[in-house]
Amino acid sequence: MAGVGKTTLARLVFNDDSVEHFDLKAWVCVSDDFDVSRITKAILESITSHPCDLKELNDVQVKLAYELEGKKFLFVLDDLWNEDYGLWEALQPPFRAGAPGSKILVTTRNTNVGKMMGAAESHNLEFISEEDCWEIFKQHALMNGSSDTSADLGIIRKKIVERCSGLPLTARTLGALLRGKGLDECEDILSSNMWSSPDKETDILPVLRLSYHHLPHHLKRCFAYCSVFPKDYEFEEKQLVLLWMAEGLIHQGERSRSMEDLGAEYFSDLLSRSLFQESSSDKSKFVMHDLTSDLSRWVAGTSYFRLGSNLEHEERWQNFKKSSPFILCC
């Protein structure tokens, strides 16, 4: 299930000291676009730390096989959706050059994906306990046991853990949302109609929609702009701030502060609300959780251009409307 912690668990395994006996390690976010060439290039660039300029898939695979020859590797293919065995078969050839004991770890919401790939083992993540939900919530709500906020939230602890529904993502996001708020405001958020009226066209968690609803207006614009990024796209803080500046989304209200400083503050605020998170593969970059990415596209409306989109096949391009925000990034 979305938000249950698949990527987080895979990240902990990938970075654990006990797996250091692998010669090579690489992490690739696959998402719903199983592009064999892109994935192969991403693995090659990760293990060589150099960009790949080769154009033909065969050339890339020959180069990757050469790099893997006789070496034990650990690859993580995160968020894999496609059940097409032909694509998986096309990706495999270079892997056979690796040494025995090499491993490929896959995260997916679809058990059929594991069956298609011939998984040696599978592990279905269960919902976490109420106690664990509460611990995650406290970490992100910055409760310290001695503050008034801690005492207030303790009063409504039962309602909070019920809203978490055993999902770590919900606990984290709800903690960020309720951080620093008084008891009355927390009660209002926990009793909101958004919890009981999910959007039938998406599986966006109610707590994420609430997080967007409670954003200041200037942060809503900046967050909606992020719909231009494909899922699992890694971005740097400075890169995104400059894009916001170019689109006129940062308004210099205080003359003594530069737009770069204001943009950094906007970014920090969205990060603190768990709408951005640190990348698994590069700690200097950031990503959005799949559901958060869905949220940005949902709030942007039916009319937007997304980096990497094929507009000829985009249904929303055919249904272009001026009634919703128009976002363009080149």
Cα angle, residue 215 at apex, residues 178 and 229 outer, rounded to 5°: 115
pLDDT at 322 over 50: no
* pLDDT score recorded for residue 314: 41
* pLDDT score recorded for residue 320: 36
CATH architecture of 6-117: 3-Layer(aba) Sandwich (3.40)
Residue ranges covered by each domain of the chain: 6-117, 130-213, 217-318
Query: Which range is most confident: 26-35, 197-206, 254-263?
Result: 26-35
pLDDT at 116 over 80: yes
pLDDT at 95 over 80: yes
* pLDDT score recorded for residue 26: 92
Give the residue with greater pLDDT, 217 vs 322: 217
pLDDT at 83 over 50: yes
Tell me the pLDDT of the chain averaged across its residues.
82
* pLDDT score recorded for residue 149: 55
* pLDDT score recorded for residue 192: 83
Three-state SS for the chain is CCCCCHHHHHHHHHHCHHHCCCCEEEEEEEECCCCHHHHHHHHHHHHHCCCCCCCCHHHHHHHHHHHHCCCCEEEEEEEECCCCHHHHHHHCHHHHHCCCCCEEEECCCCHHHHHHHCCCCCCCCCCCCHHHHHHHHHHHHCCCCCCHHHHHHHHCHHHHHHHHCCCHHHHHHHHHHHCCCCHHHHHHHHCCHHHCCCCCCCCCCHHHHHHHHCCCHHHHHHHHHHHHCCCCCCECHHHHHHHHHHCCCCCCCCCCCCHHHHHHHHHHHHHHCCCCEECCCCCCCEECCHHHHHHHHHHHCCCECCCCCCHHHCHHHHCCCCCCCCECCC
Q: Could you confirm whether domain 217-318 is CATH 3.40.50.10800?
A: no
Using pLDDT thresholds of 50, 70 and 90, give the confidence band for residue 141: confident
* pLDDT score recorded for residue 3: 83
Using pLDDT thresholds of 50, 70 and 90, give the confidence band for residue 76: very high
What mean pLDDT comes out for the span 135-147?
A: 72
- What is the chain's alpha carbon radius of gyration, rounded to the nearest angstrom? 22
Short-list 247, 215, 214, 221, CA closest to 330: 247
Which letter does DSSP use for residue 246 in this model? H
What mean pLDDT comes out for the span 130-136?
A: 92
pLDDT tens per residue, range 39-71? 999 999 999 999 999 989 999 999 999 999 999
What mean pLDDT comes out for the span 93-119?
A: 90
Give the residue with greater pLDDT, 70 vs 147: 70
